[in-house]
Structure 1
Amino acid sequence: MSIDTTPETAATASHSDHFVRPLAGIRVVEAASYLAGPFAAQMLSDLGADVIKVEPPGGDPYRNFGSSRHGVGIVWGNANRGKEGVVLDLKSPEGLASFKALLRGADLYIDNLRPHVADKLGVGKEAVEALNASLIRLSITGYGPDGDAAREPVFDALVQGRTGLIAYEAAGGVPKATNSFMVDKLAASFVCQLALAGLLARGRSGKGVYIQTSMLDMVSYFNFPDMFQHRTYLDDDSAWRTPPQPVMATRDGYIVLSPVSGKQLAKTLEAIGHPEWKDELRAIPDKAEMTSTFFRRIAAPLKERGSAEWLAMFREMDVPCGPVNDPNQHLDDPQVLHNQLYSTLDTPLGPIRSVRYPGVFDGHLLTARFPAPGLGEHDGQTSWGAAQ
């Protein structure tokens, strides 16, 4: 395995093999499927933790999801690199014994088993606590451990629908879920955050922590600051207002235009040749109505020039703006190249592109450590020596 950094950038950060990652020495057992739990465990691996992924016979169902190469799902690989992998049948005495041996040597255990399933398998709350009193158990459910919906199967779009996201994004149009698995990836970030908080709590008390979270809870927390501004005060029953769409059409495409302050709004009007609209907009007392009027008024002038010309002009005037990149254009974006976000990782199936962890520690980039494991690749030979 080797990692090559992007040659187009002047390296300002170090890729030294001698750098000790922040979570070095922390052991994580991950028995989660699909995206949220595995992606969270990958984040912990990027931060330096030693992660063992436990899969059932036949493997994580997500291995077969979406685009694949040589029978391995690409999304699965993108969320499971940096881990060792074992196959254990928790329904068998031997598999359960090996799994418990892993838990005895772990610092963190991440799973997304529904509570009644965990209890049936013999790895419920009390059973796990009896194995390792200092273990941090992080249990992810869809809607919570109990309640009317607790036993329902949960996927990304279902949570988008239940939390109001689909209706909110529709803005009066046809409801549509996002094309990205936003809920799963957002949940993974919260799970990683909770895991770090659990480690900190254990460091203070010396005791293990049992942490429960749900996709419903995490996304609701994420949505609240802006999406629920019209329901923050209990006596507020005003109509829901979505912000104006900042994607604006130009003569040859689209740009993102996001002026916020009065000065930025004025500079935008000056750039498009209509500074006289400033007084008219200032006279509108309702801020939301004023902003909507602003975007409606500038729509026609923006179509008179191409995207590159507008972006150059707005940047010169310090108006917040940016391109509408497709994924290929994103990869070639000069700032992306400068930040060294992507590197090449050699794998048994061929070289792949991987994205680094988004934090830089004392100048060190946390690039991918090694590729996702093959099914059962580390059976009987994990670095812990615990799953035999």
Structure 2
Amino acid sequence: MPETNHPAAGAGKRPLEGVTVIETSSFLTGPFASMMLSDLGADVIKVEPPGGDGFRKFGHNRDGFGASWTNANRGKRSVVIDLKTEAGVARLKALIEHADVLVENWRPRVAVSLGLGQDVLAALNPRLVRLSINGFGDTGALANAPAFDSLIQGRTGIVAAEGRNGKPSVTPFNMVDKITGTFGAQAILAALYEREKTGKGTHVKLPMLDVMGYFNFPDMYQHRTFEGDTSAWKPPASQVLETSDGHVVISPANGAQMSKTLNAIDRPEWKADFKQMTDPVAMAEEFFRRVGEVVKLRDTAYWLERFESLDVPAAPVFSLDDYLNDAQVNHNRVFEFVPSPVGPIRTARYPATFDERRLPARFGPPSIGEHDAEIRGA
């Protein structure tokens, strides 16, 4: 049986202590899901090919550790297994046989070609929860098509909806990948709970295309919610307002807050105009247009103080570094540094607390094959 205990797991109980996860995935979807499981206490064993995960050096990096890879693979142990060989597949099976979860994001045909189809895995370990992340599902015309974050954005309406002035725009920062990974972790937790009742594992299939339909539908598809509705899609009014020296964000979510906003900008007489408008979308556009014309006359500090004093939901437009240094962020202890092979790295803790227990990163990212010797059977 492979050794799964790890002394660097950190003190304090975590909800998934005792759960073993084998991860064979690359890029961001699968690794992000299993990183979340690690933060929750699972022992995640990352299986890498000879030479390491091809995503390791991607983008901004230090000494071969890409920052994005590092941020999605901290808290894991690494073993090197060549799945192109029979011996390598046998070694992976030895790990899977005693694991609780397998996370992979191969294209649908890859697992079968490796001799790791679902029938094989279920027979090898009937209690295994298997998460398969892919782009479009395992059947249909796109089953084996390449799937990347921006491509899914293009197919799910995000690129069109994010555009302004007739120019489509991709939402940056791999939104689709991270959302898919989050749903992957959620689905694994549900499958583990089901296993407690049935004693059997299950195969969880998670297409990125389906994830974004579920995630985007509540608000982005309002105009297609009611049967027969053929309304044109309209982009929401911008809540970012220009000031004389920068920008602020306001978010009045109901009539009372909109009234307070008009009081804050000394235009209470406009309330009667807005009450007469029957189209809520047109009313919101006109509201932000008018408020924006007034807000641009004074500086950011004035408006933040003014809005706060009258209980108007408002916020500054922070840079990335502003956020890292924000007093509330520091109070919440969102970030901390942990050791890594390339020196201390900043990490974000798991955002939920459990009876006031915070779950910071357990340890940094592994070097290639760092844990081969300590994981028996690897």
TM-score of the pair, normalised by structure 2: 0.96
Query: In 1, Cα distance between the equivalents of 2:101 and 2:377?
Result: 15
1:22 maps to 2:20: no
Amino acid at match of 1:360: T
Given residue 131 of structure 2, which amino acid in structure 1 is its aligned partner?
Answer: L
Shift of 1:352: 1.2
Is the counterpart of residue 146 in structure 1 residue 136 in structure 2?
A: no
Post-superposition, which runs of at least 4 consecutive aligned residues in structure 1 deviate over 3 A? none
- Cα RMSD between the aligned structures? 1.2
**Partner amino acid, structure 2, of 1:386:** G
Q: Which has the higher contact order (CA 8 A, sep 6+)?
A: 1
Deviation at 1:52, TM superposition (A): 0.1
**Equivalent position of 2:374 in the other structure:** 381
- 1:56 matched to 2:65? The reply is no
- In structure 1, the partner of 2:214 is 221
Residues 10 and 362, structure 2, Cα contact 8 Å, conserved in 1: no
- For residue 332 of structure 1, report the CA deviation from its aligned partner: 0.9
Give the one of 60, 64, 70 matched to 1:71: 64
Question: Corresponding residue for 2:361?
Answer: 368
Distance between the aligned counterparts of 1:189 and 1:232, measured in 2? 25
Q: Distance in 2 between matches of 1:21 and 1:89?
A: 32
Unaligned runs of 5+ in 1: 1-15
Counterpart pick for 1:283 among 271, 276, 280: 276
> Quick one: which of 187, 195, 210 aligns to 1:202?
195
In the TM superposition, residue 18 of structure 1 has moved relative to its aligned partner by: 4.4
1:251 aligns with 2:239: no
Query: What is the alpha-carbon distance in structure 1 between the residues aligned to residue 246 and residue 93 of structure 2?
Result: 57
Distance (whole Å) between structure 2 residues aligned to residue 17 and residue 343 of structure 1 = 14
Give the conservation status (yes or no) of the 8 Å contact 1:37–1:140. Answer: yes
Matches of 1:362 and 1:27 in 2, distance apart?
24
| CA deviation map 1:284-339 (0-9, x unaligned) | 11111111110111111101111121111111111111111111000111111111
Question: Which residue of structure 2 aligns with residue 39 of structure 1?
Answer: 32
Residue 237 of structure 1: CA displacement? Answer: 0.5
Q: Residue in 1 aligned with 2:5? A: none
Structure-2 residue corresponding to 1:316:
309
On the 8 A contact 1:115/1:124 being kept in 2, the answer is: no
Q: Which residue of 2 is the match for residue 110 of structure 1? A: 103
Aligned-pair CA distance for 1:172: 4.3
Q: Write the letter of the residue equivalent to 1:261.
A: N
Give the counterpart letter for 1:292 in structure 2. Answer: E
CA distance in 1, matches of 2:370, 2:10: 24
Match for 1:295: what amino acid?
Answer: F
- Structure 1 residue 157 and structure 2 residue 150: aligned? yes
CA shift, 1:173, in A, is 3.0
Partner of 1:129: 122
Gaps of 5+ in 2: 1-8
